[in-house]
Amino acid sequence: MPKIGQAALTAKAALAITVSLNVFLSAPAGAEPAFGHRTDLSAKDRARIEAVLQPATDFSKPEKYERMQGGAGTSRKRINQDSFSHPTQNLSFEEEQEFKVGNGLFKKLWVSSPSSTQASDGLGPLYNARSCQGCHLKDGRGRPPEPGERAVSMFLRLSIKPQTEEQKALLESGKAPVIPHPVYGGQLQSFAVPGLAGEGEMKITYEEVPVELADGSVVSLRKPTYSIDNPGYGPLGEDTLISPRVAPPMIGLGLLEQVHEGDILANADPEDTDGDGISGRPAWVYDADNDTKVLGRFGWKGANPTVRAQAAGAFSGDVGISTPDKTNPYGDCTEAQEACYAQPNGVQPRFGDTEAPDPVLDLVTFYSENLAVPARRNVDDPQVLRGKELFYAAGCTSCHTPKYVTRRDAPTKAHQFQLIWPYTDMLLHDMGEGLADDRPFGEANGREWKTPPLWGIGLTKTVNDHTYFLHDGRARNLLEAVLWHGGEAETAKQAVVAMEQSDREALIKFLESL
């Protein structure tokens, strides 16, 4: 494979990678083609993919193209705070222009109505952030608020248990993933436009829980408890279900969307028929437009099937901005919040029927789909290679599936037939009582979470100046994150607990290289 410099990949270099990848995806003579579920592939393609996706067995050296964990679109730019904000490197010139316009809209600060800046008004009336970038700072990972801060890149999901037979039927049919709180809606929004009260403030208290490792060392985990101070619209009630969320990193989303559904379902084993203790389940979500269920890929519990759906939901719930896919200009306001619905909205008929009419959602979606995955670091470091071997030996790859080859028929050429290394199976897993939020959501019960991708995890400190991990940022470093694993991941966690210190350090070094 040709050597590529540190600057952004040129179209010629990107083509060279693609050609080299096609050469690499070659099967031994006489191999039977697998991946019969891949209707986008020829039999020859299936055999080539089968060869390249074989699990690693030689840990003395990196696998071919392992450094290019986002395929030909991987960013090899200098590592700094902007490392999650570069475009996929194999976009065309015209697509890169579209990406840049989408970036501007992603950073756009929305203002309350009425405003002289009529193309920017419509904020809220209740909201969590004034821009997409407000939650996904530098396109990276959110965090819990520090003492004295108000939460911005983290919020609380809200719902209640079904109260009526009609609500029970909605949940059983899958047409509603939860029953929103009748007053506070689907999430707590701490901020409001002038003249309106916010819904309340997230309060977190922590309890330190010691965990003794096999070598006698002790790691302290912080166990959070959540409550809501100063509720603005009356008591929430004892039956309110609360679940915290930090904003996840934005990189590689378009590639994950183009992992073939069959490749994800092939790893599902809801009844644990192979007896390995891993029972991954797909997160099916209701598609109202087609009156069917589709595979959820995005969000901490797989709530959204596409990047566009995720973006539209965030515009509505987080910023209070309506789009062609979520047309209510009052966002997450409920009918019980009469003062909220009394506020003016930002719909400008000459622009369209929503506050963010086409092509705003299209452009933000394209931007979100094409944030490049950074290249891995230190892939040939002996300690990193040892850590990779331990990652496999501990059984971590049972959920954190290392690699895929994306669809040949992906709508964006840059995403087609790419060898990627996200380390996720995109399935729901029981993570044990320690991580349970006790709030069912759609297919996911109160102990289940979707396996998050690990690519880029080692750059969290560089990009976002913190090392808080898991769905609520409770883990203060990667070792704490591992030690919070339970349920289906209990065996893997115990393997880490039993490791010698040098092996644990190698495992963390491997994770930091991703």
In-domain check, residue 164: yes
User: pTM of the predicted model, to two decimals?
Assistant: 0.93
Domain of 483, in residue numbers? 43-513
- pLDDT (tens digit, 0 to 9) for every residue of the chain, 514 residues total? 333 333 333 333 333 333 334 333 433 334 445 788 999 999 999 999 999 999 999 999 999 999 999 999 999 999 999 999 999 999 999 999 999 999 999 999 999 999 888 789 999 999 999 999 999 999 999 999 998 888 989 999 999 999 999 999 999 999 999 999 999 999 999 999 999 999 999 999 999 999 999 999 999 999 999 999 999 999 999 999 999 999 999 999 999 999 999 999 999 999 999 999 999 999 999 999 899 999 999 999 999 999 999 999 999 999 999 999 999 999 999 999 999 999 999 999 988 999 999 999 999 999 999 999 999 999 999 999 999 999 999 999 999 999 999 999 999 999 999 999 999 999 999 999 999 999 999 999 999 999 999 999 999 999 999 999 999 999 999 999 999 999 999 999 999 999 999 999 999 999 999 9
Residue 6, domain member (yes or no): no
User: Which residue type sits at 230?
Assistant: N
Domain count, the chain: 1
User: Is residue 29 situated within a structural domain?
Assistant: no
Spatial separation of the C-alpha atoms in residues 391 and 394, rounded to whole Å: 5
Interatomic CA distance for residues 425 and 282, integer angstroms: 10
Smallest Cα–Cα separation from 453: which of 310, 262, 306, 298? 298
Instruction: Tell me what pLDDT residue 119 has.
Output: 83
In the Cβ-directed half-sphere of 197, how many Cα atoms lie within 13 Å?
Answer: 12
94 backbone dihedrals φ, ψ, rounded to 5° = -65, -40
Within a domain: residue 7? Answer: no
- Contact 158/377 with Cβ under 8 angstroms? no
| 301 part of a folded domain | yes
Collapsed DSSP state (helix, strand, coil) of residue 252 = coil
CB 295 within 8 A of CB 284: yes
Angle among Cα 226, 230, 231 to the nearest 5 degrees reads 85
DSSP label of 123: -
Q: Judge whether 27 lies within some domain.
A: no
Residue 35 belongs to a domain: no
Task: Please report which helix (H) or strand (E) contains residue 283, including its range.
Answer: strand 283-287
Longest dimension (CA), the chain: 73
Is 26 among the domain residues?
no
CB 323 within 8 A of CB 361: yes
- Residue 171: how many CB atoms within 10 A of its CB? 16
Distance of alpha carbon 162 from alpha carbon 171, whole angstroms: 8
Could you give the CA distance from residue 152 to residue 189 in angstroms, rounded to a whole number? 10
Q: What angle do CA 179, 181, 183 make, to 5 degrees?
A: 145
Asked whether 70 and 378 are in contact (CB, 8 A), the reply is no
- pLDDT recorded at residue 275: 92
pLDDT at 237: 95
